[in-house]
Amino acid sequence: MTKKQKKMLIRILVAAALMLILKFVPLPLSGVSMFLLWLIPYFIIGYDILRKAWKGILNRQVFDENFLMAVATLGALAIGLLKTGDYDEAVAVMLFYQIGELFQSYAVGKSRRNISELMDIRPDYANVEQDGQLVKVDPDEVEIGTVITVNPGEKIPLDGIVEDGESSLNTSALTGESVPRDVKPGDEVISGCINMSGLLRIRTTKVFGESTVSKVLDLVENASSRKSRSENFIARFARYYTPVVVFSAVALALLPPLVRLIIGQAPDWGDWIYRALTFLVISCPCALVISIPLSFFAGIGGAGKAGILVKGSNYLEALANTGTVVFDKTGTLTMGVFDVVDIHHSELDRETMLEYAALAESASSHPIAVSIRKAWGKPIDLSRVGKVEEIGGNGVVVEIDGRQVAAGNSRLMRHLGIEPIECHSAGTIVHMAIGNAYAGHIVISDVIKPDAADAIAALKRAGVRSTVMLTGDGPSAAAQVAEALGIDRVHSDLLPGDKVEKVEELLGAKKPGETLAFVGDGINDAPVLSRADLGIAMGAMGSDAAIEAADVVLMDDDPLKVSKAIRIARKCMGIVRENIIFALGIKLACLVLGALGIANMWLAVFADVGVMILAVLNAIRALFVRKL
């Protein structure tokens, strides 16, 4: 509990004690003397509300909950002084309102503390060696290429590459998973992880402002600035609702007595003014104004603890409406780790063809190129490689030992006027041509992720209507993966630009009100992530492109997190709808009862403070995320 909350709690306890004494202890006082005594607990508990209401009037922002509370309670005190002699309702209304505000403050604080656990990934210092001694410096001051030392138990302050040492890293603050990650020299590491065992020496590859931890913190801190339609609706609703109820209360206080006066009956001003004041207390929109943003705030915090970063409540709302999920295959549903499984050759022997393929792919960082060089397994003599021409989405044409060598897909072969021999093996086919003659092809296979099939099944259980897979693989390999995973539709032989066109085609065919989400690895899929209704980047630890392009960022590469994100969003939206229906329903019923004179100030307190407390309790349920 904060210092401010403790101060409010003391005010509540003192005011409640004084109220009970004045209510139940017989005192030889009455009239103005008793009124002045009741003003003591009233001002102890309500002085800040009166001050805020007065400031609102001076700033021409009259119609808010402080104004409603001030008018209602001051009016109740006036009725007590002039008519009834009872002041407990006025003090009680202000007292219970402040109890509700304290509870709401505590609930918001709990949500912020929950998100603060994620924010604990911010490193406090970096160990840099100076004159043979380790010196702690601000991570902002560390330049690229600096070697830093990370001791066991310390956070890794900056992204880099391990130069010396082996250890296990705790990545749970970023991924939500407790399984440690082992690292050794040559491995990339990212800021925000905790070094669990061995001492590591790391050469930094990014300044702190560009590091993973900095980007994640910036994302979380700015999430609340992107409002959902529900939040914007509540803000507009409160702006018009409050003036309407104030003028309705004025009409309720004046019109019935005037009508009774005109028809010759006693106007009974006190009764109708009391009803109007009760009406004002009931009408206070606190439950909606507080609980709806808190629901989204809690939902984003709960998702963050699970390693799912949502960039704003508008994206959380879109995620809840997901009807179609489109997956990129490589690195998303499959491991993205390719192996050469077969070589079909014609003129050249197997060894020579693999050597030529490794030389042709020597300059490429594509996973397929890496797998070919890995299969060759020998040093590559780059002096044998001459002119290199890369044809986007098709392959490469290279000069090796003075001969033209082409390595790529069937489109590349036809582009060169060479007819490839089709392969019926499942996998990615790299066709080879030497000179102008077809030489054969290499079959490369990617491994399906262990949880991929469960992830597709979980999406269907979550109510996702359609699952689609996009891939550059040939039809046979694509169909095999889709069938193994239970994916509804598959589109193969796609270039990067074709994927954008296919997503636009799927967007045109979706149902109204549905969201189409695209899930990719965030590195090569940035254009598609941006084009879909909702871009979800998977396995984004250390990927700047993913964090920049996507609306939702999954910090590890577990495809089950997609259905978990949708479940969190739907739970949050369910809570929002429950709070809207509950708050408006109770308030409407109590407003009618108040106008008819059936409801008193005590029921008004429940309609305002009680409903707010229940709505806030419901909202903080969004913080808690069940495991799959």
Confidence of residue 334 (pLDDT cuts 50, 70, 90): confident
Confidence of residue 174 (pLDDT cuts 50, 70, 90): low
> How would DSSP label each residue in 447-478?
EEPTTHHHHHHHHHHTT--EEEEE-SS-HHHH
Report strand pairing: 133-137 vs 126-130: antiparallel
- Of 556, 510, 512, 548, the closest CA to residue 530 belongs to 548
| pLDDT digits 0-9 by tens, 123-160 | 788 999 888 788 999 888 899 999 999 998 888 999 89
Residue-level pLDDT at 219: 62
> How would DSSP label each residue in 5-22?
HHHHHHHHHHHHHHHHHH
State the average pLDDT over residues 166-186. Answer: 77
| pLDDT digits 0-9 by tens, 88-126 | 878 887 888 788 778 767 766 665 555 555 555 667 889
Answer yes or no: are the C-beta atoms of 70 and 50 closer than 8 Å.
yes
Residue that the structure tokens 């009233």 belong to: 42
Burial class of residue 123 in the structure, from the number of CB atoms within 10 Å of its CB (0-12 exposed, 13-18 middle, 19+ buried): buried
Answer yes or no: are the C-beta atoms of 313 and 304 closer than 8 Å.
no
With 60 as the cut, is the pLDDT of residue 541 above it? no
Alpha-carbon gap, residue 127 to 155, rounded angstroms: 11
Q: How crowded is residue 132: how many other Cβ atoms within 10 Å of its Cβ?
A: 5
State the average pLDDT over residues 519-535. Answer: 79
The mean pLDDT value of the chain amounts to 82
With 50 as the cut, is the pLDDT of residue 76 above it? yes
- Of 561, 609, 481, the closest CA to residue 176 belongs to 561
Domains of the chain with CATH codes: 3-116+225-296+571-623 (no CATH), 126-157+159-205 (2.70.150.10), 308-333+449-555 (3.40.50.1000), 335-447 (3.40.1110.10)
Q: Which two tokens stand for residue 499?
A: 């994927």
| pLDDT digits 0-9 by tens, 452-476 | 999 999 999 988 999 999 987 778 7
With 60 as the cut, is the pLDDT of residue 209 above it? yes
**Catalytic residue check, 328:** yes
Confidence of residue 217 (pLDDT cuts 50, 70, 90): low
Residue-level pLDDT at 542: 45
With 70 as the cut, is the pLDDT of residue 235 above it? no
Q: What percent of the chain has pLDDT over 70?
A: 89
- Structure letter (DSSP) for residue 155: B
Q: Tell me, what amino acid is at 60?
A: R
| pLDDT digits 0-9 by tens, 362-401 | 878 777 888 899 888 888 888 898 888 888 778 899 999 8
Of the residues 64, 88, 328, 521, only one is catalytic, namely 328
Higher pLDDT, 555 or 507: 507
With 90 as the cut, is the pLDDT of residue 216 above it? no
Confidence of residue 627 (pLDDT cuts 50, 70, 90): low
Q: What percent of the chain has pLDDT over 90?
A: 19
Residue-level pLDDT at 338: 77
State the average pLDDT over residues 166-193. Answer: 79
- Structure letter (DSSP) for residue 84: I
Residue-level pLDDT at 526: 73
State the average pLDDT over residues 257-262. Answer: 88
State the average pLDDT over residues 475-491. Answer: 87
H or E element, residue 535: strand 534-538
311 three-state secondary structure: coil
Q: Which two tokens stand for residue 430?
A: 């790299």
Alpha-carbon gap, residue 442 to 352, rounded angstroms: 12
Buried b / exposed e over 243-278, threshold 16 CB at 10 Å, is: eebbebbeebbeebbeeeeeeeeeeebebbbbbbbb
Q: Which two tokens stand for residue 359?
A: 């030389």
State the average pLDDT over residues 342-346. Answer: 79
Residues 6+ apart with CB under 8 A from 286: 65, 100, 104, 608, 609, 612
With 70 as the cut, is the pLDDT of residue 261 above it? yes
Residue-level pLDDT at 397: 92
Residue-level pLDDT at 202: 94
Higher pLDDT, 124 or 544: 124
Is the pTM higher than 0.75? The answer reads no
Residue-level pLDDT at 562: 92
State the average pLDDT over residues 41-67. Answer: 86
Confidence of residue 203 (pLDDT cuts 50, 70, 90): very high
Residue-level pLDDT at 296: 83
Q: Which 3-state string (H, E, C) describes 99-127?
A: HHHHHHHHHHHHHHHHHHHHHCCCCCCEE
Alpha-carbon gap, residue 98 to 286, rounded angstroms: 12
The top-scoring range by mean pLDDT among 27-31, 183-187, 624-628 is 183-187
Residues 6+ apart with CB under 8 A from 2: 105, 109
